Amino acid sequence: MITNRANRLEHVHSDIRGPLYTESQRMRSEGIDVLRLNTGNPATFGFTMPDSVKNALLNNADKAVAYCDLKGMPEARQAILNYHLSKGFKDITIDDIYIGNGVSELVSMCLTALLNDGDEVLIPAPSYSLWTNSTYIAGGKPVFYTCDESSNWYPDIDDMRKKITSKTRAVVIINPNNPTGAVYPKEVLEKIIALARENNLIIFSDEIYDRLLMDGVEHISTASLAPDMLVITMNGLSKSHCICGFRCGWMVISGSKGKADDYVEGIFQLAAMRLCSNALTQLVIPAALDDFESTRAMMIPGGRLYEQREATMRELAKIEGISCVKNSAAFYVFPKLDIKKFNITNDKKFAFDLLHEKQIFIVPGSGFDWQTPDHFRIVMLPEPEQMAKAVRDIGDFLKDYRQ
Ligand X SMILES: Cc1ncc(COP(=O)(O)O)c(C=O)c1O
**Chain residues in the site for ligand X (CB under 6 A):** 40, 102-104, 128, 130, 174, 178, 206, 208, 236, 238, 244, 249
Do 177 and 330 touch, CB atoms closer than 8 A? yes
CB of 211 to ligand X, least distance (A): 13
The C-alpha atoms of residue 248 and residue 246 are separated, in whole angstroms, by 6
Q: Give 101 or 199: the residue with its C-beta nearer to ligand X.
A: 101
The DSSP output letter for 199 is T
The DSSP output letter for 376 is E
Q: Give 140 or 249: the residue with its C-beta nearer to ligand X.
A: 249
The C-alpha atoms of residue 397 and residue 109 are separated, in whole angstroms, by 42
Q: According to the 3-state scheme, what is the secondary structure of 66-88?
A: CCCCCCCCHHHHHHHHHHHHHCC
Report the candidate in 39, 62, 45 with the shortest Cα–Cα distance to residue 129: 39
Question: Which residue type is seen at 28?
Answer: R
CB of 122 to ligand X, least distance (A): 16
The C-alpha atoms of residue 342 and residue 349 are separated, in whole angstroms, by 12
CB of 2 to ligand X, least distance (A): 33
Provide the angle, in degrees to the nearest 10, between the axes of the packed helices 102-112 and 130-137.
40
DSSP 3-state of 54: helix
Q: Give 174 or 287: the residue with its C-beta nearer to ligand X.
A: 174
CB of 107 to ligand X, least distance (A): 7
Q: Give 24 or 178: the residue with its C-beta nearer to ligand X.
A: 178
Q: Give 104 or 386: the residue with its C-beta nearer to ligand X.
A: 104
CB of 237 to ligand X, least distance (A): 8
CB of 340 to ligand X, least distance (A): 31
Q: Give 244 or 344: the residue with its C-beta nearer to ligand X.
A: 244
Do 366 and 129 touch, CB atoms closer than 8 A? no
The DSSP output letter for 303 is S
